[in-house]
A and B are shown apart, each in its own frame.
Chain A
Amino acid sequence: MKHLFSIILLVHFFTLSLFGVDATLKIETDVEHRSRIALVDGSPVKNAQVFKILLSDLKISGHFIPDTTHHEGDVTSNLILPGLKGKEYVLKYSMKQTSGAKLFIRLLKASDGTQVFKKSYAVPARSKMPFLLHKAISDVNNILKYPSISWINRYVVYAIYTTPGRSEIRLADYTMTYKKTIIKGGLNLFPKWADAKQRAIYYTSYKELIPTLYKLNIYNGSKQKIASSQGMMVCSDVSKDGSKILLTMAPEGQADIFEMNVGSKSKRRVTNFKGIDVNGRYIDNESRIVFVSNRLGYPNIFKKSITSAATSQVVYRGRKNNACDAHGNKIVYSSRESNNAFGKNTFNLYLATSGSSSTRPITTRGTNQFPRFSADGSVVLYLKQTGYSTSIGYINLTSSQSLLFPYNGKKIQSIDW
């Protein structure tokens, strides 16, 4: 009996030490354990662009170590090429782009060819082919029980300057392979997603005497006038449930941050400073904001409660910190680190948190601007210029994996994800 009791105690001890510690440990293990995976193209017409997008999706997820060789093979066969048996998984795919875009994928265990998952995808518009690929990799990621990477399925919305006084607002997939102009002509700037499902955007129109904020449903075209202000009018952030927005307005000629209840249209002034207060972003469960202000004589990052007046400095390094984004209590900001009055300057991105004064660089060279967190805060999008080339960059903050996609279009005014 005494021995039986000892056995029960010992088993209890072992199981506690195996499973009790481990909710957190398991999550970390999942993220740190990256699966070795190879792509095998079974498409009737092989397409390097399709392969490249799949490869990018796997890389930026931070959950896979993809084989960079474009292998070919029969998508219906369970045969695994001898050279790929050392991987953990083989993803076989077939893309047809004859009428619309159709994708078929099969995820196989590399060791024995067992099928783990298969699925077909289709869209009528061929141009949306990249979204099928993103969706497929996102599904493969979920099947293998990695943390979600659903951000790769989202639209990026951005404004570009076309000619002096004119602009366009466009949609793209995160790789900028798919691009579509949704508003052309006129001067329409600062597009911002209005809801988590990306069905509507806010944007600033200059077609009236003073800047006016509209909300546009991008599927049915219905448009609603939200607010206008002389001076400037920008929707800087949208609350998680979409019921509140942060606006930069200048009703008396000074740029300040206001919070608006979208339903009632009531506004609350959040900052009141004679200089420049712009770029408000919700932090800390939307109880506070971070923003850019020149209250110390140069642009820097500050935070304040929505309801009280006390304002505190967030960043103590750099004297030209002129743009920021936030997610939860994480803050990413761009800092000008050279002093050329004209020409290209070095801008780097830094990561900070609302509760600490420590910062860490996430870029080290070139001009890095327009930082934007993904919807889950795990990845930062930014615009990178080195020499004469411009790219849209992504940094996965968990895996430190980064990717650049060439951008050859006109100058980007603002971007949201």
Chain B
Amino acid sequence: MTHTLLTLTAVIALFLSGCGQTAPDLNGSNNNISDANAISGDTVSIDESNYGNESSGSYNSSADGFRSVYFDFGDYTISSEMENAMNNNIKVAMSSSSKIKIEGNCDEFGTDEYNYALGLKRAKAVKDSLVSQGIASDKTVIVSFGESSPVCTEPNDSCYDRNRRVDLRLVK
């Protein structure tokens, strides 16, 4: 009797376990699958060549009598070697009535947003130096260009040195 009971139980359990599997839909007719329309739409092509920075090279450096300020790797403090450049920049800033754009730049070794923040810290250091010498804060605007605007693209140390810089120019 016990044997019969166990066998019967096993058969029922196996039958029920078989019911738990879902077979694939062999017709493929009841599948909630979208077609490829979602990717057939045309996407835009926008040309902004007339906007943005002027020709490379001439734009990517200081202008209007200002001198670029250079920084050590990963650093955003103005070194004593840059004092002459900053003294010059203070004189030019004081003699001008225009707004001054201060642009922070980095070498190519940073990544993503962090490199732009590093460029920003450099621009801010130059701005703070100008403001401490009496230039009105609202006469300046700072922008970080991260690694987007190198003056030099050769893979060597002196080139990387020239890219870790702050450029200044008058807003026209």
Closest chain B residue to A323, Cβ basis: B112
Question: Looking across the interface, which residue of chain B has its beta carbon closest to that of A138?
Answer: B33
Question: Complex Cα distance A284/B40, Å?
Answer: 35
| B36–A121 touching, CB < 8 Å | yes
Query: Counting chain A CB atoms within 10 Å of each CB, which of B35, B43, B53, B157 scores highest?
Result: B43
Residues of A within 8 Å of B108, CB to CB, are 411
B-contact 0/1 string along A332-347, CB 8 Å cutoff: 0010000001110101
Contacts of B67 in A (CB 8 A): none
Q: Are B111 and A219 in contact (CB under 8 A)?
A: no
Contact segment of B9-17, B80-88, B90-98: B9-17
Contact B60 A14 (CB under 8 A): no
Query: Within 8 Å CB of A181, what residues of B?
Result: 45
Asked if residues B40 and A145 are in contact (CB atoms below 8 Å), the reply is no
Chain B residues positioned under 8 Å from A143 (CB to CB): 24-25, 28, 31, 33
Q: CA A3 – CA B9 in complex, angstroms?
A: 11
A286 an interface residue at 8 Å Cβ cutoff?
A: no
Q: Does A94 belong to the interface (CB within 8 Å)? A: no
- CB <8 Å contact, A123 and B39: yes
Nearest Cβ on chain B to A320's Cβ, whole angstroms:
10
Contact with B along A47-85 (1 / 0, CB 8 A): 000000000000000000000000000000000000000
Instruction: Specify the chain B residue showing the minimal Cβ separation from A136.
Output: B36
Q: Interface residues of B: mostly helix, strand, loop or mixed?
A: loop
A189 at the binding interface (Cβ < 8 Å): yes
Interface residues of B, count at CB 8 A: 76
Q: CB distance B22 to A185 under 8 Å? A: no
Minimum CB–CB distance for A162 against chain B, Å: 10
Which B residues are CB-close (under 8 A) to A15?
13, 16
List of B residues within 8 angstroms of A305 by Cβ: none
A299 contacts B114, CB within 8 Å?
A: yes
A163 touches B56 (CB 8 A): yes
Q: Are A164 and B56 in contact (CB under 8 A)?
A: yes
Q: Are B20 and A182 in contact (CB under 8 A)?
A: no
Contact of A219 with B57 in the complex, beta carbons under 8 Å: no
Give every chain A residue within 8 A of B57 (Cβ-Cβ).
Answer: 164
- B interface residue numbers (CB < 8 A to A): 1, 5-6, 8-10, 12-13, 16-17, 20, 22, 24-26, 28, 31, 33, 35-36, 38-53, 56-57, 59-60, 73-74, 101, 107-114, 116-121, 123-124, 127, 141-151, 153, 155, 157, 160, 171
Residues of chain A at the chain B interface (Cβ within 8 Å) = 3, 6-7, 10-11, 14-15, 18-19, 114-119, 121-125, 128, 131-132, 135, 139, 142-145, 153, 161, 163-167, 171, 180-190, 205-207, 209-211, 216-221, 230-232, 234, 236, 248, 250, 253-255, 275-276, 278-279, 292, 299, 322-323, 334, 341-343, 345, 347, 369-370, 411, 413-414
- A19-B17, A255-B121 given; name 5 further pairs at CB < 8 Å: A128-B40, A161-B147, A186-B49, A221-B44, A279-B114
